Amino acid sequence: MADLIIQTYQEILQTNGEIELIDLTNKVMNYLAESKITDGTVHISCPGSTSAVITTEFEPGVVKDTKDLLNKLIPKGIGYEHDKIDNNAHSHLRASFLGANQTIPIKENRLLLGTWQQIVFVELDVRPRTRTVIFQFMGIIK
């Protein structure tokens, strides 16, 4: 069998605060090409507890619907306990429900995603942030 390759890439994002969706798919594809891994996984994450990484169709309608749903299900500033020490309780709660990271399988140096499925970073904090997104590839070159 081939040797294991682990490659960790980082990318800085300047975000605009809540709620912003940023398509990461092309960045992941470029790093995948650079890594030359044919079989394995890529794990996409962002240190912090007020952002999320999801997969969805990155289309203006779905983006708007996602924002509206988060505002409806987990509203801002409705007497949260955490808001007594900060003003982003809803950001933390939304992040927990959406999930902080994603793992995507790789085969033949391609991401096994659907045509209408993108890897999307979600800024949930109340103010613009400088975010470091981590792309970690684990796999082999066949």
Residues of this chain that interact with its own copies (CB under 8 A) are 1-6, 8, 39-41, 43, 45, 47-49, 54-57, 59-62, 64-66, 68-69, 73-74, 80-85, 89, 92-93, 95-105, 107, 112-114, 116-118, 134, 136, 138-140
CB of 57 to its own copies, least distance (A): 5
- 16 or 99: CB nearest its own copies: 99
Residue 64 DSSP one-character state = H
Those residues whose C-beta lies under 8 Å from the C-beta of residue 21, and which sit 6 or more positions away, are: 56, 58, 63, 66, 67, 120, 121, 122, 123
- 33 or 73: CB nearest its own copies: 73
Those residues whose C-beta lies under 8 Å from the C-beta of residue 78, and which sit 6 or more positions away, are: 90
Partner residues linked to 56 by β-bridges: 118
Residue 9's Cβ-side half-sphere holds a number of Cα atoms within 13 Å equal to: 18
CB of 2 to its own copies, least distance (A): 7
- 16 or 82: CB nearest its own copies: 82
CB of 138 to its own copies, least distance (A): 7
Residue 38 DSSP one-character state = -
CB of 16 to its own copies, least distance (A): 19
